Structure 1
Amino acid sequence: MMTMTTMTFAHVGLALCVLVTLAQAAPPNATSPSPIGRHVPNCELQKQRCYQLIGSYCPSCDMNGNFDAMQCSGSTGRCWCVDVITGVMIPDTQTELGPPHFDCSNMYFCPDGWTLFKKRCFIFISTPKKWSEAEVYCQFDGGNLASIHSYEENHFVMALTRGDGHEFPETWIGGFDAVVTGLWMWSDGSKFYYENWQDYTSPSSSQDCLRMNYGIELKWYQDSCSDLHPFVCAKII
């Protein structure tokens, strides 16, 4: 007969397998990549190509093959800051002559449609999806469903979800307790230490996913993961 301990480990293992499967899946109804995603992400690859063109600008790369935060052109003397992954120039950073007067390593840049908040990029997706579908959609764009770690961050994410009529739709964020009922985690692996619950007293084994903007006070509440809601993605720069 299977013991309670064995059943617990089996449950945890099954939940983890589900999460891994979701992480490897392709996002349903995924949109086309943003313009920034069409750039070759490997600095070394671009460097090899530019050597074939006499007089062309060749990027400088770090030891990991990413772009150096500051790029300069030897032929023009101009320098500018770039996204170290894509090499895309950060707007309003190019100087006419010599290096920028600011520290490019502290410049943060989000792709089109995303909004910067404390070194993370966020985006609200208004198309309703199941929690698992929303998580995979976010992973496809290099992130996860948003984790929230402070009152200020919660207020910022709420503002992203606000519609033209100043309504706040119930929205998926990255919390779940599918591994152990009542033990809430964030899908991006960060610690779950800030909470904004609406009368959370008894966890439900059938409501394992976290939504925000619930009720008049726009709090957090557990919900069935199969329900359809818009969602917020977040990713570290």
Structure 2
Amino acid sequence: MEPYLLVGLLTLVFPLFSPCTCLLDNVGDADLEAIRYRLQDEKEKRLLLENDVETMMLKLAELERLCKKDRNKTEVTPSSQCPFGFVSRANHCYVYVLLEATWIEAQMYCRVFGGSLVSIETPEEWTIIRSYLESVKGQDNIWIDSTDILKEGIWHWTKGNGDQRMIGKAGEGIWASDQPNKYGSREDCGTLMKVSGQYFGNDDFCSNKFHFICEAQ
């Protein structure tokens, strides 16, 4: 290559690298450390999200296993129209789920399998639910469908356009005599709580994790 051509090329190339050199010169150690920290923080967030998704999939798989186990242990007549895994009781379909979940998670799980958290709208159904819980040896607190999240102090079932049967007045219906008591002013979700061997309605923190009963029509 002719010398004058080489000189011309070098004259063109060196200005292209000089801005990069200036930029790197202007980035201090503190700036590089901040960039590394942000990258690490984003990586940790992504890993947490992946773990959350994996945990949810494991919970759904466990719920499906428990539903299958419950069906295998319970005789269901061929004429039953209950969804898979549910037990027929006096023209109602129920399944007691051993998985511990928050109230919102329990609602989601029930809907995945064709139902919702149980609502108890008649004295007859209240007797059925109590008997069913005795047969499955339910834990001391169990999520049901009732809530007053939308309007403080107004309890209702989420299905049926906000029906208040058996849940509308404190101390009546399924409620224990001293419930709902709004302990800590944040108990907005309903459970069945075992008191002296019997279940009664109770309000609790929606973020607590309990077993639950799903109901399907």
Q: What's the TM-score once normalised by structure 2's chain length?
A: 0.56
What are the ranges of 5 or more consecutive residues in structure 1 without an aligned counterpart? 1-26, 36-89, 92-106
Of structures 1 and 2, the one with the larger relative CO (CA 8 A, separation 6+) is 2
Aligned residues, how many? 140
- 2:187 aligned to which of 207, 218, 222: 207
Q: Could you report, residue by residue, the CA deviation over 1:137-169 in whole angstroms, capped at 9, with x for unpaired residues?
A: 0011111100001222122222333366x5653
Structure 2 equivalent of residue 197 of structure 1 = 175
- Map residues 95-114 of structure 1 onto 2, 5 A cutoff: 108-114=80-86
| RMSD, aligned α-carbons | 2.7
- Map residues 155-194 of structure 1 onto 2, 5 A cutoff: 155-162=127-134, 166=137, 168-189=139-160, 191-194=163-166
Identity of aligned residues (%): 24
Report the residue type matching 1:30 in the other structure.
Answer: L
1:158–1:168 contact (8 Å) kept in structure 2: no
- Map residues 1-237 of structure 1 onto 2, 5 A cutoff: 28=56, 29-31=59-61, 32=64, 91=78, 108-162=80-134, 166=137, 168-189=139-160, 191-194=163-166, 195-198=173-176, 199-200=178-179, 202-203=181-182, 205-216=185-196, 217-236=198-217
Q: Could you report, residue by residue, the CA deviation over 1:18-56 in whole angstroms, capped at 9, with x for unpaired residues?
A: xxxxxxxxx932134978xxxxxxxxxxxxxxxxxxxxx
1:206–1:224 contact (8 Å) kept in structure 2: yes
- Distance across 1 between alignment mates of 2:206 and 2:143: 9
SS of the residue aligned with 1:30? helix
- Distance across 2 between alignment mates of 1:175 and 1:207: 11
What are the ranges of 5 or more consecutive residues in structure 2 without an aligned counterpart? 1-54, 69-76, 167-172
Q: Could you report, residue by residue, the CA deviation over 1:2-22 in whole angstroms, capped at 9, with x for unpaired residues?
A: xxxxxxxxxxxxxxxxxxxxx
Q: Which moved more, 1:111-120 or 1:136-145?
A: 111-120
Cα deviation for residue 112 of structure 1 reads 4.0
- Distance across 2 between alignment mates of 1:141 and 1:201: 29
- Distance across 2 between alignment mates of 1:201 and 1:207: 8
2:83–2:216 contact (8 Å) kept in structure 1: no
Q: What's the TM-score once normalised by structure 1's chain length?
A: 0.52
Structure 2 equivalent of residue 77 of structure 1 = none
Q: Could you report, residue by residue, the CA deviation over 1:168-222 in whole angstroms, capped at 9, with x for unpaired residues?
A: 5311110011001111121223512112111126445400000103322421110
